Amino acid sequence: MSSSFGLLHPKVRNLLEKRGFKQETDPQRLSIPAILAGKNVLIIARTGSGKTESSILPIFSRIVDVKKEGIKALYIAPLRALNRDLMERMEWWGDQLDIKISVRHGDTTQHERRKQALSPPDILITTPETLQAMLTGKVLRENLRSVKVVVVDEIHELAADKRGTQLSVGLERLGYLSGGFQRIGLSATVGYPQEIARFLVNDRPIEIIDASSQKVFDIGVEYPIPEDEDEDLATDLSTTPQTARRVRRIKELVEENKSVLTFVNTRETAEALSSRFNIISDDIDIHHSSLSKKVRIDTEKKFKAQDIKCIICTSSMELGIDVGSVSLVVQYMSPRQTSRLIQRVGRSGHKHDEVPRGIIITTDADDILESIVIARRAGKNMLERIEPYEKPFDVLAHQIIGISMDMGDVGKRLAYDIIRGSYPYRDLTWEEYEGVLKLLSSLRLIWLEEDMYHKSRNALGYYFDNQSVIPDVKKFLVVEIGTNRTIGVLDEEFVVDRANIGMGFIIKGRAWNVIDVSEDTVLVEEVNNMAATPAWEGELIPVPFDIAQEVFTVRKEISESLYSNAFRDSFVGRYSLDDNAFEELQRYVGSQQDYVIPEAGKLYIEIIPNLAIFHLGLGSVANETLGRALAALYSNKFGTSVAMKSDAYRIAFRFPSNVSTEDITEVLSSLRAEDVRPILELSLKRTSMFLWKFTHVATRMGVLSKDVEKFRIKGIMASYQDTPVFQETYKELFKDKLDVSMVEEYLRSLQEKVITIIVQERKNPSPFSGSLLAKFGYGELVGPLRPEKEILKLFKKRLEDRRVRLFCVTCGRWHASIKISNMDEVPRCPLCGARFLAIIDKKEKLTRKALLKRMKKEKISNEEEELVIRAKRTADLILVYGKKAVVAFSARGVGAQTAARVLAKMQPDEESFLRDLLEAEKTYARTRRFWD
């Protein structure tokens, strides 16, 4: 028996071979001795390297002979799917060793919960949110006193968001209850592992076991070029030959390999790619977070059983969900971060003698550049830093309440010390702490005394309502105005931040303009919009500074040795790209030769009519930050809104026509580092994004209930400007969406002349600028505009499927509800034969009554007079135009005046009539908010 396995308890050791453990992996060899010795440990290893067993085998060894009642070990994983997998993996061991193992999360039945409370398991697998609930339960709390070890799986995922902050304080609360416990963190490969280790234990001793660099990765970058057969395939797939070739290349890779995971960066791309793939192959399925649990589990099982050969997936499959053996990972388009690529490619090659294999399929020159840089950095293990949240006030508020639920009356200093024991709150000041206490007191969630506080009656509901820090993200249906067809779904964040009236965006592979936004619907029309924003843009992982800088360096390097064969050989060797990709880079960089080649250390500003493009590689978030600050200054200077778009390599501004080059550069020169934050705070406060963030923060802090009416939020927000709620809203925006410190540093370099500014005026954008403009226009997988005839056909069907109620104004004896498609071209009263028929859908009984009174020449009220006039206007038009008038009235927002205008045009054919009617409907949707 090898050395570390030999240290395990004999009962565990004797089961190893039976379970298939013949040789320890590196994580197991390095971790088992440290865990058995009771040390706090952070284990860093890739998925499939045996790091789960690195923790559970020594835990089994430590508790197998302990007969004391109570939970002895907690295993905390971020996903319920991981809980499920872990239970399946541990159950066998539990049966063999007589160790009770259970799972507890949001889906656990009441029966199972009672069972766990009355007869606690030895090991409980749970989620961070469920731990928050368990700490306050009377019986479970007693069972947790015996916890001696806690494992936090996928800790790198939790450390990056507020779920991790909440868990960190939860562990301190558990430590106070149990007297302390051993902490074990399991992490994928990360940059700066010391940060993750500190996050787990704060200032306690810990051993970092890095077993991540024991295996090399085989990662290649390809740029498929369309061939003759892709022209026909593009027609079949309703896409371009370029996209058809990429789909066909993935199909080839699936056929050449036993099992393939194809990762994409967004759900939208996953749907678009899989819909096209399904036309040419039966061997694939799809997996992303918006799909139901049942669908995801079915896909995982089919792949593991080899019923399918490929899953097209998003980050939902990055974590250690068990899907069996993976022979190849395909990354569709740049993974945007090195850590993402390593995590994804690390899903393959799990056998001892296998190398993890990955291929990145790229779509354009920018994509190639980004991908080859990331692939090279992956080979060198150069990963991004994970930065936990620093003392978020919303989580602090929730944990202050939680501690009072744990203990009843709580000393302020005791709660403060427990909270500061966690890494995110290590620098929390007493003034900040008291500020949140006072806020909670003003909300009547706690009662404050001089040195103590205790929860109020309202605290219980608040605590459990906000057990999860993940906001409830509302979904908006995207509905096409003409056809009433549901196109897709948008997240609330995208709608709030970007879905303004008239804005273009891309969804389901097509471009659409926003006509109207209601409570839960975005009304759209299809357009051929060059400036459309992909609806999945908010989902995209930001490209960090280091990658953007290396892309600049690579472009400059290629430009200096453009057609050197020796350079080509060395470059391809360093960056692992195919010939097509290299030749595309040569073409791309070569086409920029008449312009400036942007490089690190220089700011190239390209000015063309109405546009300025700043070429600087600060990465996605910092470029967005600088772009927002400058756009605010430009808008203020020119007295009109200045549009801004950015990516990791450029910022583009659209100006009024009379703006000079001097105006543009003067504003840049005037922006000082110390002004960036105040400018952003002022400009952000007026945005819908700030309101959206405030809503979530205020809900988590107990200021807003989850069902608050939206019209009240702005008024409430105004009264909380100088409170921790406002402060936390800014903190979260600056942490998630902006990088002020990077921009401040860059501006100081500009002011100190460390960075040279090059300004060039041109008539047309350079190829490097064109990349940004085109990227925000088309996006990937965007199809051509549907034929207008198809839209009008669906529009007609929608109208004719409606039912209307007709009333005979001549005899007054007949009224009926009729489906328009079943109506005669010249409608008549079946009783008297008259054609003077009114539509009385609204206020039907009142209208009928008013019409009958008028026919009898009885006195009618002013309201009844109005109903009669409206009805007779419809009857007048039906008398003249017949069924065509009924169709017109059935369009959304079309009244008698608009219907008369459309009908009076006397269109030469039905298509022209429907076109005019659809335009009238769009006009109503655009303008109804002003007069409806």
Phi-psi region of 578 (alpha: psi -120 to 50; beta: other; left: phi over 0): beta
Class level of CATH domain 218-379 = alpha beta
59-70 pLDDT, tens digit per residue, is 999 999 888 888
Per-residue model confidence (pLDDT) at position 784: 42
Q: Where are the domains of the chain?
A: 3-210, 218-379, 393-465, 475-538, 595-775, 788-931
468 phi, psi to nearest 5 deg = -100, 130
**For the chain, how many residues are written?**
932
- Please give the Cα distance from 77 to 90 (Å, whole number): 14
**Band of residue 497 on the pLDDT scale cut at 50, 70, 90:** low
CB 160 within 8 A of CB 386: yes
Provide the mean pLDDT of the chain: 86
pLDDT in the model for residue 676: 94
How buried is residue 427: exposed, middle or buried, by Cβ count under 10 Å (0-12/13-18/19+)?
Answer: exposed
Per-residue pLDDT of 678-726, as tens digits, reads 999 988 888 878 888 898 999 999 998 877 766 677 788 888 988 999 9
**Nearest-angstrom CA–CA distance, 352 and 820:** 69
Taking domain 393-465, whether its CATH number is 1.10.20.10 is answered by no
Cα gap 67→82, rounded to integer Å:
28
- DSSP strands (E only) in 265-304: 284-287
pLDDT at 467: 86
Tens digit of each residue's pLDDT (9 = 90 or more) over 401-424: 999 998 889 999 999 999 999 999
Q: Decide: 145 and 177 in contact? Cβ < 8 Å.
A: yes
Q: Is the pLDDT of residue 528 over 80?
A: no
3-state secondary structure of 930: helix
Mean pLDDT value across residues 880-897 = 89
Q: What is the pLDDT of residue 505?
A: 66
Q: In the chain, what percentage of residues exceed pLDDT 90?
A: 45
CA distance 390 to 403: 20
User: How do residues 747-791 score in pLDDT, each as one tens digit?
Assistant: 999 999 999 999 999 888 888 988 777 654 423 333 344 556 667
Task: For 12-29, give the DSSP string.
Answer: HHTTTTTTT--S--HHHH
pLDDT, average across residues 907-931: 76
Six token digits for residue 232: 């026909």
Q: Do domains 218-379 and 393-465 have the same CATH topology?
A: no
Taking residues 483-505, what's their average pLDDT? Answer: 67
Which pTM value belongs to this model? 0.78
**Angle value at C-alpha 385, between 379 and 386, nearest 5 degrees:** 125
**DSSP assignments along 613-677, one per residue:** EEE--S-HHHHHHHHHHHHHHHHHHHTS--EEEE-SSEEEEE--TT--HHHHHHHHHH--GGGHH
Please check whether residue 446 is in contact with residue 437, taking contact to mean a CB–CB distance below 8 angstroms: yes
Determine the Cα–Cα distance for residues 327 and 345; give it in Å rounded to an integer.
Answer: 10
Does 46 or 132 have the greater pLDDT score? 132
CATH fold of 3-210? Rossmann fold (3.40.50)
- Tens of pLDDT, residues 249-302: 999 999 999 999 999 988 778 877 887 887 888 788 888 776 777 888 888 888
Short-list 72, 620, 558, 594, CA closest to 337:
620
Q: Has residue 931 got a pLDDT over 50? A: no
DSSP-based three-state secondary structure for 2: coil
The amino acid at 154: E
Interval 644-652 mean pLDDT: 92
